[in-house]
Amino acid sequence: MKSVSTLLLSMVVAGLLILPVNALAEPNRPDSWLPTLQTDTPEQGFELAVKLSRMGVKTTQPDIDALKQGRRQYAKDPDALIDASKVIAVHFSTIAAANDYWRDE
C-alpha cells in the first residue's frame, strides 16, 4: 500500500512541475480556472488548496477511469490519505503566504 501513496504523491508533484507558475494564475484570461491566489478568508484559502491538489491529480492523470480505480486503492490506505493531506497543506501554506496570512492591514 505504501507504493500507492508514493505513486499518488509523485503524480501530484509531477503535475505541479509540468505547469509553469505563471500558467497557474493568469488574471488577464477571463476563462482561467485560477485567476489569483488571493482569497478573503482562510477557509476560502483552504478550499482553493484542495482545488489545486485535485487539479494537480487531474492534470497528471487525465484518464478518469484510471483515477477512479486508483481511488479505491488509496481510499483505504491511511498513508496515502496522509500523503494527500500533505499536498493540500503545502498548497494552503503557499496560499496563506500569498494572502499575508490574512492579517488586517
Comparing C-alpha atoms, which of 88, 83, 89, 86 is closest to residue 70? 83
Kindly state the average pLDDT of the residues 55-66.
93
pLDDT at residue 74 tops 50? yes
**What is the predicted pLDDT for the residue at 9?**
60
Alpha carbon distance 70, 76 (integer Å): 11
- The pLDDT value given to residue 12: 57
Pairwise CA distance, residues 77 & 12, whole Å: 17
Question: For all residues of the chain together, what is the average pLDDT?
Answer: 82
**Stated pTM of the model:** 0.69
CA neighbor of 96 nearest in space, from 27, 23, 46: 46
Q: pLDDT digit string (tens) for 16-32? A: 544 444 445 555 666 88
Hey, where are the domains in the chain?
A: 2-102
- Lowest average pLDDT, out of 7-16, 60-69, 77-86, 89-98, goes to 7-16
**pLDDT attached to residue 41:** 97
Which burial class, exposed, middle or buried, applies to 104 when counting CB atoms under 10 A from its CB (0-12, 13-18, 19+)?
Answer: exposed
Distance CA 95, CA 88 (A): 10
